Amino acid sequence: MAKKKKLKIAIQGIATSFHEVAALTYFNEPIETVECLSFHQLCESLKNGASDYAVMAIENSIAGSILPNYFLLQDYHFNIIGELYLPIHMNLLVLPGTKITDIKTIESHPMAIRQCSEFLHSLNGVEIRESDDTALSAKRVKELKLKNTAAIANEFAAKKYGLTILEKRIETHKKNFTRFLVLAKRSNGKIESNKASLCFEVANEVGSLADALMTFKTNSINLTKIQSIPIIGRPSEYSIHIDVEWKRRKNYDTAMQEIIRQVKNLNVLGEYKKAKIEYR
């Protein structure tokens, strides 16, 4: 019997990064991760066929939305086929034997740094340095033997690179999670959906956005997120990104028939199944 080919999943970062944990959790089967050090590289990997799917972080409960990724969703026209809420626990990793008083520099991904701002503000005389990835920061500490540098990353990175967890769970709020989107080049019509991500534009007139959003309310559609993105080259004009949920598909279909007459450039980024938020 032929061996089943592993799915190739593009992730931002390297092995043991939160993106890899998210990918392994979502697909729940042996996969091959395609490491990308930027979200642009991640999108290019999916576009060029180097990966079958991509897992992209879109927001964090402490640090907020990752705005550049909304522009990427618009530019690449990928289809959102799923989502995942991953609990995020940040740890301060160092070479064995390093003490807190030895640390001169702490480095990690910008979003990780923002999630740990309260802890980092409590330190004096420590330089905070941004990097491409949490796991990559841990790898640098190990390979370069950086005795005065700490990395902010997860426990899997600590184990892989033989680092000591000097401080556990340094995230500002303990109920911390990141929402990841699962992207494909085309829609999978087999997915049973109860959530959708949309984007559109409205006229720059009083009440135009309110009227559009009211359409969802009157059709019993729950609006779970709204994010405005500037339209490049058109000052004071925005693309509106929303996430909506429904209990009856018919309500969603009716709302979409109405909304298409109220807005401009309506784009359905994906219809998929709502994920659960489970704190650990």
Each residue's pLDDT tens digit, 241-260? 999 999 999 999 999 999 99
Please report the pLDDT score of residue 236 as a whole number. 83
Report the CATH number of the 7-88+176-184 domain.
3.40.190.10
pTM over 0.75: yes
Judge whether 269 and 73 are in contact, CB under 8 Å. yes
Please report the pLDDT score of residue 7 as a whole number. 96
Q: What is the mean pLDDT of each run of 10 residues along the chain (280 residues)?
A: 82 97 95 97 98 98 95 96 97 97 97 96 95 97 97 97 97 94 86 93 88 96 96 89 97 97 95 88
CATH superfamily of the 91-167 domain: Periplasmic binding protein-like II (3.40.190.10)
Under 8 Å CB-to-CB from 44, ≥6 apart: which residues? 36, 50
Averaged pLDDT of the chain: 94
Q: For residue 139, give the nearest of 127, 125, 154, 126 by alpha carbon.
A: 154
The DSSP symbol for 256 reads H
Judge whether 116 and 152 are in contact, CB under 8 Å. yes
Please report the pLDDT score of residue 49 as a whole number. 96
Please tell me which residue in 16, 33, 149, 178 is annotated as part of the active site: 178
Please give the Cα distance from 19 to 10 (Å, whole number). 9
Verify whether residue 178 is a known catalytic residue: yes
Please give the Cα distance from 172 to 189 (Å, whole number). 40
> Yes or no: is domain 195-271 CATH 3.30.70.260?
yes
Judge whether 93 and 157 are in contact, CB under 8 Å. yes
Task: Work out the widest C-alpha separation in the chain, in whole angstroms.
Answer: 65
Domain ranges of the chain: 7-88+176-184, 91-167, 195-271
Distances, alpha carbon 12 to alpha carbons 23, 229, 240, in Å = 10, 22, 25
* The domains spanning 7-88+176-184 and 91-167 adopt the same CATH topology: yes
Start-end of H helices in the chain: 18-27, 39-47, 67-76, 110-115, 117-121, 134-143, 155-161, 208-218, 249-259
DSSP-derived 3-state class of residue 90: coil
Please tell me which residue in 180, 200, 215, 216 is annotated as part of the active site: 180
Verify whether residue 180 is a known catalytic residue: yes
Please report the pLDDT score of residue 3 as a whole number. 67
Please report the pLDDT score of residue 2 as a whole number. 53
- For 245, counting Cβ atoms within 10 Å of its Cβ (0-12 exposed, 13-18 middle, 19+ buried), the class is middle
